[in-house]
Amino acid sequence: MRLDRRNFHRKVSGVDGFLVPTGDRRTPPTGRPALLYRRGRTGTLHPAILRPSPQPAT
């Protein structure tokens, strides 16, 4: 199963306390520097990230 990076980031960053920004950035050789986060106090996502239901074979 593939995750959509934008949806995943929006989901985990939208849950209060799940991620905490460190204030640091990772600077790659090219492209935009990435913000770095650490684990927060919240241990679960609500609502959960759901897997798509399996498609019936045709």
| Token pair in block for residue 37 | 């986060």
In tens digits, the chain (58 residues) has pLDDT values of 677 888 888 888 888 899 999 999 999 899 999 999 999 998 888 777 776 667 776 6
Q: Would you state the pLDDT for residue 20?
A: 93
DSSP readout, 26-45? Answer: E--SSSPPEEEEEE-S--S-
Phi and psi at 29, nearest 5°, equal -60, -35
**Cβ atoms of 1 and 51 closer than 8 Å:** yes
Residue type, 56: P
Longest alpha-carbon distance in the chain: 51
